[in-house]
Structure 1
């Protein structure tokens, strides 16, 4: 057979690339070099779909070579048993969505990345076989990756967490997380992540977690995800049972997510400043739908729809420095007093509660069994405004704490309909101490400005 000059050159280049590989990792003569624009075929390195042995060494060799050559590595459909494969810098591992399945060999992580500039994964399924793993161990674990790109992947039956990202930037998109013992995705000290259009279902404790070791500007975006059936198997009074959980993570935008059936909270922001919670929809949770708590400064909750919770929203903890909030243009329906998971006494029945430097405006709150809008608690009440809201079918329409000696609150231009125990009522430690302030003033309510409310 005649050989062209181009063929001889190609053969020489490929031959020069393989001299240090073991025999089982040598490319087959029938299929040398890149597969056109797709990249290298992993089967050239001895990876065999359905093989019973651990194929980590073969995949490692293939990834290293593909990375050297700046080429993607294509993993054909099939089941591959392996563990703790290191992603080299620039790794691009591509599978066939729903068909290429990586299965843990020992319960540990399948892929690991550490101190690299970038890597990408697409079209892969990671299966942890529901083997218990140490806390916060992931099926894929990345530490200090400048840009990680994960798309069209599936994480299933993790013994702890599906995807762990420490000090990483990049994007996780259009992927599925199902059957995690702990959480779907855990990010610590992000360098600005985009977590978009993923599906998260059936997690033991949390859905998506964005945490920081110290308070700081995280800059992550959590947008357009669907989160369903989040339990609180590990118990606690709020650290578990959340669809989306922030801890000390500032500057985060949580937008346009769909959340259903969370044991505690749809979106919980613990001590994250400058957080925006915008245009999300949540139905059925056991405690508070939207939460800003402890040492946060500055949170915006706007254009959300929350239904069927013990409490619609809670913006609280002035005692820890929690302050500065806007709660605007939200719909809260069916806030019913109930016993939260792992709780002992009924809680909630409130549409929204705020404490310091907060504006509650333009919201519609319906069917709050105890209070539509709660302004302050005990001495935790400072500079509050409730204007232009509609409250219908509540115990008390709007309550305001009268415990602080110095008070500044405005309650104006609201529409309050069918408030069983009074449209606007002053309280001390949650107990009414005035009549209906919408009907007649009370000297106990000094410092509270009430004007132009429509009551029926």
Structure 2
């Protein structure tokens, strides 16, 4: 008979089918070993018991590791605190039914200095007990390959999952009601974060950071992120769906984000980042952000709607440069007061500053500016070509503050731009007429040609 994986898991946990070991093997075991692993209840754990069962779980994990076997936790509630996973640990529960709740408000599970560890089918519940910053329900440090699948992280007093110097995969899991963030990774080693659901976090959703700028190579793909607040305030460090800091070579692809207090995807000082095919609706600041000391970012094929600003690629003053913004749709960028802000910001489809190509985008209903090329002296080697800008205050604005300028504005379609199709500015103030209607000596170094204006 061919058994499906689901059937095997079910029968392994519930004992509906029993595959017997040879007599010699049975005589050497302290607890039954089914076709998938050790039954934790045979090693002293009791589903639904009111007492702290941390030591029993620690012992059972040790026994399973000695025998290179997974440990199976049947459905039920277990009070657990600060249990350390042994190397090679494989802890398996029944999705949605095996619940580990914090015994003392601290971490439930800890993985430290391991080659491998694997967890699946568990609910980790922090009971919303406040805990120190970046304390997590599951804390992993220096794990070569951590595999997390089908876990639920709920009601964390700070963070759901912290990873320090870890590689591996975090997939098909959910993070609900975190006081701070869902997942915080520092100095990861080619981590994959894929097809997870993140909801109702106090400050951030998914954070991939490095202690020093470097090649991180994480992949953040196909996650759903909803309702991220900025309870701790600040001007950008909180309120983000996905946050990179100093993490280079990261791919952020195919994520869906909704209702983030500040930004859907924020890249601070991460070079070589690719932000591809994401969808975001409703945020309080810029939907996509590349800022400070980044070098090289691609934002392509994204759909961003209902934000103060569609995208901001900025901070030449800190070395931020080299970008492609292509084939994106930006709709309804309307100037507004960001959370914890004092004055209205935004109203811009996209803003870029240095060595940047803005091409093939469709931008509609930007209350102030469709495409902003430079600010103050931060304007260098810019191209805006082949875009469609419709219903904007100004179609394309270009900063004329730098003494030496090099910009190309060509082959764009600009319609219903109330303040002009292409206009030169100084510190946000209009200083030329519409450059699509005729040249202006003040705009030397800016080529404006072949644009269709209506």
CA distance in 2, matches of 1:10, 1:173: 35
1:248 aligns with 2:263: no
CA distance in 2, matches of 1:53, 1:308: 50
SS of aligned partner of 2:404: coil
- Cα separation, partners in 2 of 1:35 and 1:445, compared to 1, 3 Å: same
CA distance in 2, matches of 1:356, 1:451: 21
Could you list the per-position Cα deviations for residues 79-99 of structure 1 after superposition, in whole angstroms to 9, with x for gaps in the alignment?
000100000000000000000
CA distance in 1, matches of 2:27, 2:185: 45
Q: State the partner residue of 2:231.
A: 233
Matches within 5 A, 1:416-427: 416-427=414-425
- The answer to whether the 8 A contact 2:353-2:375 is kept is yes
Counting matched residue pairs gives: 434
Q: State the partner residue of 2:4.
A: none
Matches within 5 A, 1:83-102: 83-102=81-100
Q: State the partner residue of 1:10.
A: 25
197, 203, 206: which one pairs with 2:204?
206
71, 75, 78: which one pairs with 2:76?
78
CA shift, 1:406, in A, is 0.2
Query: How high is the TM-score relative to the length of structure 1?
Result: 0.94
Q: State the partner residue of 1:22.
A: none
SS of aligned partner of 1:157: strand
Could you list the per-position Cα deviations for residues 223-268 of structure 1 after superposition, in whole angstroms to 9, with x for gaps in the alignment?
0000000000000000000000000000000000000000000000
SS of aligned partner of 1:156: strand
Q: State the partner residue of 1:307.
A: 305
CA distance in 1, matches of 2:447, 2:64: 70
CA distance in 2, matches of 1:158, 1:35: 34
CA distance in 1, matches of 2:419, 2:149: 52
SS of aligned partner of 1:66: helix
SS of aligned partner of 1:96: coil
CA shift, 1:10, in A, is 2.6
Could you list the per-position Cα deviations for residues 4-59 of structure 1 after superposition, in whole angstroms to 9, with x for gaps in the alignment?
xx855234322xxxxxxxxxxxx5xxxx33112x1000001110011111101000
- The answer to whether the 8 A contact 2:61-2:85 is kept is yes
Unaligned runs of 5+ in 1: 1-5, 15-26
SS of aligned partner of 1:261: strand
Moved over 2 A (4+): none
Matches within 5 A, 1:117-156: 117-156=115-154
CA distance in 2, matches of 1:329, 1:67: 51
CA distance in 2, matches of 1:363, 1:177: 33
Q: State the partner residue of 1:20.
A: none
Q: State the partner residue of 2:367.
A: 369
Q: State the partner residue of 1:188.
A: 186
- The answer to whether the 8 A contact 2:32-2:42 is kept is no
SS of aligned partner of 2:340: coil
Could you list the per-position Cα deviations for residues 159-207 of structure 1 after superposition, in whole angstroms to 9, with x for gaps in the alignment?
0000000000000000010000000000000001100000000000000
CA distance in 1, matches of 2:322, 2:362: 21
CA distance in 2, matches of 1:35, 1:60: 20
Unaligned runs of 5+ in 2: 1-20
- Cα separation, partners in 2 of 1:8 and 1:256, compared to 1, 3 Å: closer
CA distance in 2, matches of 1:372, 1:132: 44
- The answer to whether the 8 A contact 2:85-2:111 is kept is yes
Could you list the per-position Cα deviations for residues 362-419 of structure 1 after superposition, in whole angstroms to 9, with x for gaps in the alignment?
0000000000000000000000000000000000000000000000000000000000
